[in-house]
Structure 1
Amino acid sequence: MAYEYETVSTLSAKFRDGTTTAVRESAAARQAARESGPVFITIAEDDSAATTSDERLQAGTPRSVLEGIPVAIKDVIDTAGMYTTMGSNLFTDNIPDEDATIVKQLREAGANIIGKTNTHEFSYGIRGDASAYGVVPNPHDDSRVAGGSSSGSAAAVARGIVPVAVGTDTAGSIRVPAALCGAVGFKPTFDLLSTDGIFPLAKSFDTTGFLGTSVRDISLTLDALGLEGFSPTSDHADDLVLRRLQGNPALPAELPDEDEIQTIPDVIDAPDIFHPSFDGSTADFRTLFNTIRSREAYVLHKPYLASESTRRQYQPLTLERLDGDADSTDEEAEYALARIQEISERYLEEFADVDILLTPTVPIDAPPRDEEPGEGSEVLVSLSVVWNVLGWPALTIPYWNPGDPLPKSVQVIGKPGRDADVLRAGQHLEDLLAKQNQILSAS
């Protein structure tokens, strides 16, 4: 299914030259949100922010490149005066008094919050198929799931409703739905962006991030928030050393020049050279992650689970998972955290000579909606959860194979604090993939 897209760059340019206005784009985005079914839970009615943006734009005093840009917010993130439901009947009437820190930052940059996107209940699921507000369909095949837990944010971007949306990522909850829906998704280094005002799933891994129409949009957004080093650049990032990890294979290589790219395998396929740091198995990572996630989620929800009246408000899948977490212990979680610290140090040593890693984001296409809720969840996070455990930044970039309506994706990973390098490499790779599409279209 074809959608029309505006990027942060193109919209910002149109605002500056008077081709369109923030009020007009806000109205269009909110109307598209209303027509998107369960993609949005709440749509903003107050358009005063867009009006103020137009006044600043006309005066030549925009706050940033985000001035007037429509942005959507995952509905586990507090928005003052706007419902924040966590995708649950437990919080149907919850209206926060204050914005989450990330929302404050966006508003201060001039962004226009147009609504709250659907989410897997309490962010506790990777398929996005358990929400009190319905299942978000995949934008390219509505018989399939959009992925989760940031399902609505991914679909809102992939449908062209907004160029940028905020999500959260605990095991892949930005990158997996981005991959399944065909959006760019970025999970920064753990703690780069504040999680204040965001309902947690597992505080040891919860990460605030963005979904966007392009890698450049993500970079522009981070730059607009005042983070240093994220201004988009035309540099090809050829000085970054890359390795491809897919099971055992890994290959030290320079990122190829645009003139050398012919097909996607030129970028992500390579001779199989074993690297001892990555043995192809993520089972240990998932075990450590599940131990900590289970304990932290259960402790948070325990007060709500004590009452039958509140238990009935949960979606069945969420309740089943939380009940299964009841046997978790603090001692097990503390041991797992200590093991992660040891593993993290070893990985930094083993990959000391590598700047960028490439993997697929997910090993399968978007699963059918009519499967059992939660079916295939372990497979969907098998290539993403590793980087939550390690706290490394990871970026998902979509691409399409000829004749296939469903997107595929590449995951670009860097070491902690090297977020800008990840986005530089990602922008270069995105350019290469765009060139391949031109080659395929002309052939």
Structure 2
Amino acid sequence: MSGHHPDGGPDTAAADIYNAGITWLAEPLQGAAAGPLAGRTLLVKDLIDTEGIRTTYGSRIYTDHIPARHATVVQRALDAGVTIVGKGNLPEFAWGVLGANPWYGTVHNPLHPGKTTGGSSAGNAAAIAAGLVELGIGTDTGCSIRLPSAACGTVGLKSQWGLLPLDGVFPLCPSLDTVGPMGRTVEDVALLWSVLAATAAPEPRLDGLTVGLLRRAPDLGDGRETESSDAADAWVAELERLGARVVESAIPAAQADIWPLFLHEAAWSHRETFPSRADEYADTIRPKLEAAQFVPPRAVAAAREALAAWRTYVPEVDLYVCPCYAIDLPLEDADELEVRLPLSSFLRWVNLIGWAGLALGNMQFVAPDDRTVLAAGLAWERR
């Protein structure tokens, strides 16, 4: 789109016809004068603390909240020379698979007008897709970096659990929460990842790897049949041309429903404001937190045990490929409670098992570690 300047400020705010930002900075926050990210612009998801810059967590409760320090991932990006231009819009407290927010408005999809951006790192993906910014830092607890990246045709990494620091990020479910880079290309995402992880980016690699093709999302132990898709068939020939061996594959089912642990940890994360300020929460999240108040301890213990057991699984292949979503992209005003499970079933399991997931549009590479999926993504992109 013309008439905007990708350096933040009033021009970027005026160009934001997609409602991608909750806060655009009149004076962008300049990082170090030199570094690997010098000259690059960054939108930080408004779930992540920025010193002196309003950080709402997408909520009405924190409308005027101004953190006293940067989250570590933000500080690392600034130290690498990035320029922060604003804070990205998101569903309230990042608990939603759509880009709708009752307090700050719905994020609109630049690639598929009228369809959802996906959530919860909705503003980041939309801003990157629209050319308003080059890079984003988002979070992913069940799909929240990869689904918006898939829906908006951009790239996003759900980092392996525990690798990137989460201080200064409002928690949802600490056993699943991750933070990660978003961008227009795998190369951009790998560069930002190298800064956030304080390590060198991997070299491109698909040659010699065994890639497992997933046609059905793994059984999450909740009694619900997950979605299936043949979308990955379209990528097999090219993967093989790049030297990979593609085989049919499946992930074993979780031993118990892990959802009670999610609810238990969400209730703990919100204990200071829920239920004491329940009337200030929106209709999408309030019923979830109400249900979270009454999770039987036995179910939480079984979920914790099942999660720990699943995370010991050693894959039979080097890498998996599957779509990010396997249903039609819902409208941006769809009922979140109706679409959240079918829309995210190919994504949520990656958080549960603790692995890395890279979205290249609707294509998803999954492996136990970040380096493997980034190397595969770089090889795919440079073909």
What is residue 178 of structure 1 aligned with on the other side? 149
Matched, 1:237 2:206: yes
Per the alignment, do residues 32 and 46 of structure 1 end up closer, same or farther by CA in structure 2, a change over 3 Å counting?
A: closer
SS in 2 for 1:92: coil
Q: 1:120 to 1:25 in 2, by over 3 A?
A: closer
1:202 aligns with 2:169: no
Question: Alpha-carbon deviation of 1:147?
Answer: 0.7
CA distance in 2, matches of 1:161, 1:286: 43
> 1:325-362 CA distances to partner (integer Å, 9 max, x unpaired)?
221144422321111222222x21xx24x211101111
Output the CA distance in 1 between the equivalents of 2:55 and 2:333: 28
Q: Summarize the Cα distance change of 1:264–1:357 in structure 2 as closer, same or farther, 3 Å threshold.
A: closer
- 2:80 is the alignment partner of 1:109: yes
- Quote how far apart the aligned CAs of 1:115 are: 0.3
CA 1:317 to 1:395, structure 2 compared with 1: closer, same or farther past 3 Å? same
Q: Which runs of structure 2 are paired with 1:318-397 in the superposition (5 Å)?
A: 318-345=285-312, 347-348=313-314, 351-352=315-316, 354-397=317-360
Per-residue deviation, 1:236: 4.2
Tell me the amino acid that sits aligned with residue 363 of structure 2.
V
CA distance in 1, matches of 2:351, 2:57: 21
**Secondary structure of the structure 2 residue equivalent to 1:375:** helix
**After superposition, where does 1:126-275 map in structure 2 within 5 Å?**
126-225=97-196, 227-230=198-201, 233=203, 235-247=204-216, 264-267=235-238, 275=249
State the partner residue of 2:20. 39
Q: 1:48–1:174: structure 2 CA closer, same or farther, 3 Å change rule?
A: closer
Deviations 1:85-135 (A, max 9, x none): 011111001011111111111111111111000011001111122341011
Deviations 1:365-388, CA, capped at 9 Å, x for gaps? 321123223331001110111110
Work out whether residues 34 and 43 of structure 1, in 8 Å CA contact, stay in contact via their aligned partners in 2: no
For residues 203 and 178 of structure 1, what CA distance do their matches in structure 2 show? Answer: 22
5+ long unaligned stretches in structure 1: 5-23, 57-61, 250-262, 399-408, 433-443
Contact 2:6 2:12 in 1 (8 A): no
SS of the residue aligned with 2:373? helix
Residue 375 of structure 2 aligns with an amino acid whose one-letter code is R
> What is the identity, as a one-letter code, of the residue corresponding to 1:287?
D
Aligned partner letter, 1:340:
L
> What is the letter of the counterpart of residue 164 of structure 1?
L
**2:275 corresponds to 1:295:** no
- Structure 1: how far apart are the matches of 2:28 and 2:20? 20
Change (3 A) 1:274 1:222: closer
Q: 2:365 aligns with which of 382, 407, 412?
A: 412
Q: In the comparison of the two structures, how many residue pairs are matched? A: 363
Aligned with 1:26: secondary structure?
coil
Give the whole-Å Cα distance in 2 for the aligned partners of 1:114 and 1:80: 13
Q: Cα distance 1:364–1:33, how it changes in 2: closer, same or farther (>3 A)?
A: farther
1:432-443 aligned at under 5 Å gives the runs: 432=383
Q: What is the DSSP-based 3-state SS (H/G/I as helix, E as strand, rest coil) of the residue aligned with 1:340? A: helix
TM-score normalised per structure 1: 0.76
Give the Å deviation of 1:65: 1.8
Which residue does the alignment assign to 2:251? 278
User: Structure 1 residue 97 and structure 2 residue 68: aligned?
Assistant: yes
Q: CA deviation at 1:286?
A: 9.0
SS in 2 for 1:429: helix
Shift of 1:364: 2.1
Does the aligned pair in 2 maintain the 1:30–1:114 contact within 8 Å? no
* Matching residue's letter, 1:241: T
Distance 1:129 1:410 in 2: 24
- Give the SS at the match of 1:154: helix
Cα pair 2:210 2:246 within 8 Å, conserved: no
Q: Please say which structure displays the higher CA radius of gyration.
A: 1
AA at the equivalent of 1:41: I
Q: CA deviation at 1:164?
A: 0.9
Q: Relative to structure 1, is the Cα distance of residues 319 and 268 closer, same or farther in structure 2, using a 3 angstrom cutoff? A: farther
Q: Is the 8 A contact 2:210 2:247 kept in 1?
A: no
State the Cα distance separating 1:226 from its structure 2 match. 5.8
Distance 2:129 2:70 in 1: 25
Q: Contact 2:264–2:292 (CA<8 Å) still a contact in 1?
A: yes
CA contact (8 A) 2:162 2:178 kept: yes
1:377-417, Cα deviation, whole Å (9 max, x unpaired) = 0011101111101110110012xxxxxxxxxx1100112xx
Alignment correspondent of 2:223: none
Identity between Structure 1 and Structure 2 (%) = 31
Question: Which is richer in helix?
Answer: 1
Distance 2:108 2:174 in 1: 28
Query: Whole-Å Cα distance in 1 between the matches of residues 294 and 275 of structure 2?
Result: 15
Q: Judge which range, 236-245 or 206-215, deviates more.
A: 236-245
The separation in 1 between residues aligned to 2:298 and 2:256, in whole angstroms, is 18
**Separation in 2, partners of 1:30, 1:157:** 17
Deviations 1:202-233 (A, max 9, x none): 011000011111111111112234632415x3
Aligned-partner SS, 2:104: coil
